[in-house]
Chain A
Amino acid sequence: AQSVSQHNHHVILSEAASLELGCNYSYGGTVNLFWYVQYPGQHLQLLLKYFSGDPLVKGIKGFEAEFIKSKFSFNLRKPSVQWSDTAEYFCAVMQSPGGFKTIFGAGTRLFVKA
């Protein structure tokens, strides 16, 4: 069965530190990849997505992610985090084409110390 693994469940960083959150998936076919973020008390919202083309995708608030097909990975990065990035981050994978179901990882809670 398709699965999504996020390596870190909890991450604590100081402001201005660099961030990398790992995400690996198990599906061998074509996939669409997403990172969603849930700020405290808010809805989940899309951070960035990859469908095709340049494997380095840029999202909102300075986040980016790189799709490495050979490693089945889609890691999220940000060069310098801010206190306002404190949130839970979810990697998600959808089979393509024709798939409607999206499988989510367990999430990574990021806490940024001011």
Chain B
Amino acid sequence: NAGVTQTPKFRVLKTGQSMTLLCAQDMNHEYMYWYRQDPGMGLRLIHYSVGEGTTAKGEVPDGYNVSRLKKQNFLLGLESAAPSQTSVYFCASSDPGSRYEQYFGPGTRLTVT
């Protein structure tokens, strides 16, 4: 039981490049989330999903897209990376059965130069 995993762990991009971050969970959770963590700002919700095939915008969705084609996977895409997207990205999952406690992945540190 690996919980929530994220790949890659680190990435450096040049401005304008694209990439996809993968999140996978093996707990059969319905809900999945993508956050970014910046110093002094806590975690801010980018996008979330309440089930397979569904996605919704969070607090800071601009510049990101997501897809949830399979229940266990939640992908975060950056189409044209910008330096402002330098951050640590966390994926999380939760379920009504666990009273919405969120289980987090280890994070992806992304630097955009």
What is A's interface to B at a CB cutoff of 8 Å?
A: 4, 6, 9, 32, 34, 36, 43-46, 49, 51, 90, 94, 100-107
Contacts and interface: CB of A to CB of B under 8 A. Distances in A.
A103 B45 CA distance: 8
A32 B45 contact: no
A90 B40 CA distance: 11
Given A9-B40, A32-B99, A44-B90, A102 B45 contact: yes
Contacts of B40: 9, 106-107
A49 B106 CA distance: 21
B104 A45 contact: yes
B41 A106 contact: yes
Interface of B: 4, 31, 33, 35, 40-45, 48, 50, 58-59, 90, 92, 99-102, 104-107
Contacts of B107: 43
Contacts of B100: 32, 94, 100, 102
A49 B99 CA distance: 9
